[in-house]
Amino acid sequence: MTLAHETNVNVVLRKQGEIVLEERPVPTIRPDEVLLNIKVTGICGSDVHYWLHGGIGDFKLKAPMVLGHESAGIVVAVGDNVKHLQVGDRVAVEPGVSCRLCEECKTGHYNLCKDMKFAATPPIDGTLCNYYAHAADFCYKIPDNLSLEEAACIEPLSVAIHTANRSNIRSGDRVMVFGAGPVGLLCCAMAKAAGAGHVSIADISPSRLEFAKSYYTDSQIVLQRPEVGEPNIEYSRRTAKAILETEEMADVVIDATGAETCVQMSLMLAKNGGCVVLVGMGSAVQSLPVQELGAREVDIKGIFRYRNTYPRAVKMLSAGTIDVKPLITHSYPLKNAVDAFEHVKSGRDGAIKVLILG
């Protein structure tokens, strides 16, 4: 086996607030694994959150951890049992490996596996490195007309596909999305791909909404922040009312912010019998106007990552059903990974998806 790099540089979150580059041995592979030369990794909000806050919910950083989980690369070695991949194949990496044996796995809900090992979720190391060993059945060969950059975007796109699946978007539906970050924008793209007739997007950032004008949305809603001291529910009521001056209620509302006010408005803006999907991660406990659920039969659904999305994402990107390329605004070489993280944190220069190239 000849390797393109002599070394294996890893982007390690040593502790909260401290990212360092560290050389580690090239991993050895088990019979069911492949060794990947990681070429592209997108920075996710969760990577930045671990860096700045040292944890997300119950997942706390207790030891140094390699960051990154939105990756694509080239197969450089295959384990003895691997039949469907060869050296040289370009693959999208599904970063969570489930046990394949439990009830959740056997019923196809493998994202809910209790033994899930997900890259860059403590204590599991992520993919931001030169060489990464991964279960071969969670690597998906991509066709020649897809770039590795696009393949890396399949991870956040998967969240949008799973969201569309859970919300049962139908042809002609009105869909409203809160949050114009990468996942919110991909939810708009996916809603259109699923046949939505009208997609609106709401955010507090005018520049994000300006971008959204040319990305799978029909209308853009600029949100103002609550007045000082204004209770969330009062802000949400008056803002939802203002939104309805120009928008109709939606069959499906997707919250990609996690903010309590946006979740409250999502419930208020769903049609009778409509569906709200909570994609964003915010405060663990929130105060919601539950009368919307009872009086109007609005369904509220949660999602946890995604399942069975990669093969479809590969097909959709290859067919041009969705274009993820406009979301890729910046890229950095692996050696400048810290600068890339600083860039995402600042949000400057219209950054949407920032990639690290290995």
Interface with Zn ion, residue 92, by CB under 5 A: no
Distance CA 155, CA 138 (A): 12
Q: Positive or negative, the Cα torsion across 269, 274, 278, 282?
A: positive
Taking the complex as a whole, the smallest distance from the CB of residue 258 to Zn ion amounts, in Å, to 14
Taking the complex as a whole, the smallest distance from the CB of residue 61 to Zn ion amounts, in Å, to 16
Site string for Zn ion, 104-123 (x = CB under 5 A): -x-------x----------
Distance CA 325, CA 274 (A): 31
Cβ-Cβ contacts under 8 Å for 254 (sequence gap 6 or more): 163, 167, 175, 176, 177, 178, 184, 187, 191, 266, 276, 277, 279
CB closer to Zn ion, 15 vs 109: 109
- In this structure, what are the phi and psi dihedrals at residue 307, rounded to the nearest 5 degrees? -150, 145
Taking the complex as a whole, the smallest distance from the CB of residue 357 to Zn ion amounts, in Å, to 17
Interface with Zn ion, residue 157, by CB under 5 A: no
**Residue range at the interface with Zn ion (CB under 5 A); choices 9-17, 102-110, 138-146, 199-207:** 102-110
Interface with Zn ion, residue 313, by CB under 5 A: no
Interface with Zn ion, residue 3, by CB under 5 A: no
Instruction: Please give the residues from 219 up to 278 whose contact with Zn ion meets the rule CB under 5 A.
Output: none
CB closer to Zn ion, 152 vs 243: 152
Instruction: Please give the residues from 32 up to 61 whose contact with Zn ion meets the rule CB under 5 A.
Output: 44
Candidates 48, 56, 102, 193: give the one binding Zn ion (CB under 5 A).
102
Taking the complex as a whole, the smallest distance from the CB of residue 319 to Zn ion amounts, in Å, to 23
Cβ–Cβ < 8 Å for 266, 294: no
Bridge-partner residues for 129, per DSSP? 10
Provide the CA 69 distance to its chain's centre, in angstroms: 10
* Helical spans, DSSP H, in the chain: 45-53, 103-106, 148-152, 154-167, 182-193, 206-212, 232-243, 260-269, 291-296, 310-319, 337-346
Interface with Zn ion, residue 167, by CB under 5 A: no
Interface with Zn ion, residue 99, by CB under 5 A: yes
Which residue's entry shows tokens 């997942």?
A: 59
Interface with Zn ion, residue 133, by CB under 5 A: no
Candidates 37, 41, 71, 98: give the one binding Zn ion (CB under 5 A).
98
Q: What is the binding site for Zn ion (CB under 5 A)?
A: 44, 98-99, 102, 105, 113
